[in-house]
């Protein structure tokens, strides 16, 4: 008797997205990926690699499921099993539990201070959720029906939660999830009873021993995120959100002062901190930000002195330029994947689809690092989560979507449509809570996927001053417009005030009933032409007027949407100016 076995390992939302630091986000995703690979490998070892449907490594490459490998897999495992369902379920749980204990031992071994290890281990053991279903599989023709039945049953099983008795303790809760108890003793934290020297020492030790900052209470689960895989080959050369925001500035230092000068600047700043016996673990662009000094220097007198020295160093290397405080968080998901999976009528067809998804996931990691200076958090199946510097974010969104379409072009839905990738991109402040940026990224991704044509891009700019702005559109057309606008802004070929005047025209004329559309377009074009009054330095060129007229008339992009896009383009233009410098000569902008 054969069975179609489907397993889901979680939690995803509670574990991955309750992140305060970028390392929390990476390790949460990485740990669940490791548990899923352990489960998949156990099924492959038991029943043979050909019986593993999702993920499905290429023939002869089962080693990609080894612990610590680069492959990212989804938390849903599909395989054909021959044992009784309970036996297969126990096999998967045992394999994932064993891997979890290996990771727990590694992480807790890096904690240098005292902590409640009993409570921490119990919290970690209670963390993982295992859901599985098994459906009889009679022959190859029954596979599609069996898979649909298994998916319905799995959804029902997830809705039937297991609730354990509350066993809370009267201690502070975790700063990350607010649910689990802190396992770090309160005596390790600086208090008002301590003098300046004691507070400084405790602040340093919190970071060195636990990976915690002042005021951060960590549970056993949080300790695993902060201390797991320290110094190992799988730990990425980690870049914080602050470093992502600093990348354009560091690129400008290299451009102005020469190769290697950015690292020289960072080492000088570390030397300044070392003079005060401050040794932050970060060696990246986070050192450039005045706001980050407060995390390492509780003494106000020393803080002011270091701020002055930091400002002097930045001026020496980059003149009047300052690091931008914003970075990009990218979240993407495949379109029409459910419909495409439904057309895979046999396990072999589904395996080939899985192999294409695995190939895309492996390609994503390489391209993010080599081409876009980004950090991949997760790429499992058709899901991608990464963060990037602003000057590469648009190009990355375009590249990833094109690569996804290329890898999946051989698979189609019943309507003959191949999968595409919709992308949500958020521009967030490097000091804003990461959980907030993740929530905005999820909303941006949902906004993109709601576009009927799919293959969409939604961008939300979340500034600390003003309201959040979201634009959405067909990915190819929207990126093309934004890149053109970025070019015009960098050439000073369009005034920054044009966008706000277009908004005002739409607000006023939008309330006028019966006004012909052509009249609105003419007024919008008049605003575009008034470049000098709109903040520009010279009379606008005909090619720029023609470009806007094409967008308004031929592409039928409403004036208010163009205004929003132009405001968003200003964010990317500033980053490009910082990274690459202002263009020395106007570049040709093709007239449609």
For the chain, percent helix, then strand, then coil, each to nearest 5?
55, 10, 35
The structure tokens listed for 463 are: 């500034």
pLDDT of the residue at 514: 60
Give 417: exposed, middle or buried? Use CB within 10 Å, 0-12, 13-18, 19+. middle
Instruction: Write the DSSP assignment of 113-143 as a string of letters.
Output: S---HHHHHHHHHTT-EEEEEEEEE-SGGGH
User: How confident is the model at residue 534, as a pLDDT?
Assistant: 45
CB 407 within 8 A of CB 367: no
Which DSSP string corresponds to 243-285? HHHHHHHHHHHHHHH-TTHHHHHHHHHHHHHHHTT---S--SG
Enumerate the β-bridge partners of residue 181. Answer: 173
d(CA 429, CA 588): 33
pLDDT number for residue 101: 95
CB atoms within 10 A of CB 576: 23
- Dist CA 253 CA 319 (whole Å): 9
Question: What is the separation of C-alpha 156 from the centre of its chain, rounded to a whole number of angstroms?
Answer: 30
Phi-psi region of 48 (alpha: psi -120 to 50; beta: other; left: phi over 0): left
What is the H or E stretch that residue 150 is in?
A: helix 143-159
* Residue in the block written with tokens 């031992």: 105
For the structural domain made of 324-467, what CATH number should be given?
3.30.70.270
Q: 265-301 as b/e, with b when 16 or more CB fall inside 10 Å?
A: bbeebeebbeeeebebebebbbbbbeebbebbbbeee
pLDDT for the residue numbered 515: 65
- Tell me the β-bridge partners of 471: 459
Give the orientation angle of helix 498-509 with respect to helix 517-529, to 10 degrees. Answer: 160
CB-based contact 461:483 (threshold 8 Å)? no
Q: In Å, how far are 393, 471, 477 from 562, measured between CA atoms?
A: 20, 9, 12
Q: Residues 6 or more apart from 261 whose CB is under 8 A from it?
A: 253, 254, 317
Handedness of CA 170, 171, 172, 176 (dihedral sign): negative
Mark 22-32 as b/e (b = at least 16 C-beta within 10 Å). Answer: bbbbbbbbbbb
Place of tokens 């202002």: 582
CA distance 175 to 219: 8
> For position 590, what pLDDT does the model report?
45
Complete DSSP assignment for 300-368: HHHHHHHHHHHHHHHHHHHTT-----EEEEEEEEEESHHHHHHT--SHHHHHHHHHHHHHHHHHHHHHH
C-alpha span between 223 and 120 (Å, rounded): 8
**pLDDT given at position 539:** 52
- 108 close to 228: Cβ distance less than 8 angstroms: no
Q: Is the peptide bond before 297 cis (omega within 30 degrees of 0)?
A: no
The answer to whether residues 27 and 228 touch, using CB atoms and an 8 Å cutoff, is: yes
**Cα gap 220→37, rounded to integer Å:** 23
Which tokens go with 442? 């999820």
What gap in Å lies between CA 502 and CA 18, rounded to an integer? 39
CATH number, domain 2-109+127-159: 3.30.70.2220
Beta-strand relationship, 420-429 and 456-461: parallel
Domain ranges of the chain: 2-109+127-159, 167-235, 241-318, 324-467, 490-592
Strand ranges of the sheet holding 469-474, from the earlier edge strand across to the other edge: 375-380, 383-388, 326-335, 420-429, 456-461, 469-474
Successive 10-residue mean pLDDT values, the chain, 592 residues: 92 75 86 93 93 86 85 90 95 95 94 94 89 86 87 89 63 86 93 88 89 90 90 75 93 92 91 79 81 75 85 89 94 94 91 92 86 88 92 95 94 94 96 90 96 95 91 95 93 83 76 68 80 49 84 88 93 95 60 40
| CA-based nearest residue to 302, from 334, 345, 272, 332 | 272
pLDDT attached to residue 513: 57
Q: Of 374, 408, 401, 524, which Cα lies nearest the Cα of 473? A: 401
Report pLDDT for 163: 61
pLDDT on residue 592:
38
Burial class (CB in 10 A: 0-12, 13-18, 19+), 345: middle
Query: How are strands ordered across the β-sheet holding 52-54?
Result: 52-54, 76-81, 2-10, 129-137
Residue 54 CB contacts under 8 Å (≥ 6 apart), including other chains = 74, 76, 77, 78, 79, 350, 351, 354, 381
Scan for tokens 């007024």, then name that residue: 523
* Phi, then psi, of 218 in degrees rounded to 5: -120, 135
For residue 521, how many other CB atoms are within 10 A of its CB?
17
């Amino acid at each position: 008797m054969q069975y179609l076995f489907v397993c889901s390992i979680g939690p995803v939302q509670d574990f991955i997205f309750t992140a305060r630091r970028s390392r929390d986000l990476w390790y949460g995703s990485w740990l669940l990926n490791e548990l899923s690979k352990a489960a998949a490998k156990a099924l492959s070892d038991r029943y043979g690699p050909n019986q593993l449907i999702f993920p499905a490594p290429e023939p002869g490459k089962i080693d990609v499921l080894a612990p610590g490998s680069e492959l990212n897999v989804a938390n849903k495992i599909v395989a054909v099993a021959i044992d009784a369902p309970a036996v297969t379920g126990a096999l998967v749980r045992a394999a994932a539990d064993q891997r979890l204990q290996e990771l727990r031992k590694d992480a807790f071994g890096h904690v240098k201070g005292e902590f409640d290890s009993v409570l921490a281990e119990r919290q970690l053991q209670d963390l993982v959720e295992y859901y599985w279903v098994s459906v009889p599989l009679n022959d190859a023709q029954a596979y599609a029906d069996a898979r649909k039945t298994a998916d319905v049953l799995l959804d029902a099983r997830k809705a039937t939660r297991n609730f354990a008795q509350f066993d809370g303790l009267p201690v502070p809760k975790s700063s990350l999830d607010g649910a689990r108890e802190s396992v770090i003793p309160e005596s390790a934290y600086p208090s008002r009873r301590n003098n300046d020297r004691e507070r400084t020492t405790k602040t340093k030790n919190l970071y060195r021993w636990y990976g915690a900052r002042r005021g951060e209470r960590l549970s056993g689960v949080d300790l695993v995120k902060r201390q797991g895989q320290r110094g190992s080959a799988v730990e990425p050369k980690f870049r914080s959100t602050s470093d992502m925001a600093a990348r354009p500035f560091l690129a400008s230092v290299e451009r102005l002062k020469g190769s290697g000068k950015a690292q020289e600047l960072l080492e000088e700043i570390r030397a300044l901190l070392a003079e005060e016996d401050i040794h932050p673990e970060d060696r990246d662009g986070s050192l450039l930000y005045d706001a980050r000094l407060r995390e390492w220097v509780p003494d106000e007198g020393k803080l002011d002195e270091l701020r002055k020295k930091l400002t002097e160093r930045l001026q020496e290397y980059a003149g009047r330029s300052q690091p931008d405080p914003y970075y990009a968080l990218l979240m993407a998901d495949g379109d029409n994947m459910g419909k495409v999976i439904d057309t895979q009528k046999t396990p072999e067809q589904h395996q080939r689809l899985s192999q294409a998804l695995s190939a895309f996931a492996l390609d994503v990691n390489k391209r993010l690092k080599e081409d876009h200076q980004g950090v991949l958090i997760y790429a499992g199946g058709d899901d991608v989560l990464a963060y990037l510097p602003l000057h590469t974010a648009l190009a990355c969104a375009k590249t990833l979507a094109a690569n996804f379409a290329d890898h999946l072009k051989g698979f189609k839905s019943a309507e003959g449509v191949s999968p595409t990738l919709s992308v949500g991109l958020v521009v967030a402040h490097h000091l804003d809570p990461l959980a907030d940026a993740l929530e905005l990224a999820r909303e941006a991704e949902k906004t993109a996927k709601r576009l009927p044509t799919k293959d969409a891009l939604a961008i939300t700019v979340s500034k600390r001053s003003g309201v959040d702005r979201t634009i959405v559109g067909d990915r190819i057309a929207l990126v093309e417009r934004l890149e053109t606008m970025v070019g015009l802004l960098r050439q000073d070929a369009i005034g920054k005030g044009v966008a706000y005047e277009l908004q005002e025209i739409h607000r006023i004329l939008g309330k006028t009933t019966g006004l012909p559309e052509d009249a609105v377009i003419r007024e919008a074009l008049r605003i575009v032409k008034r470049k000098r009054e709109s903040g520009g330095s010279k009379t606008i060129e005909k090619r720029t007027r023609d470009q806007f007229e094409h967008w308004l008339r031929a592409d039928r992009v409403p004036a208010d949407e163009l205004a929003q896009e132009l405001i968003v383009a200003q964010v990317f233009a500033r980053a490009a100016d910082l990274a690459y410098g202002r263009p020395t000569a106007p570049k040709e902008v093709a007239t449609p």
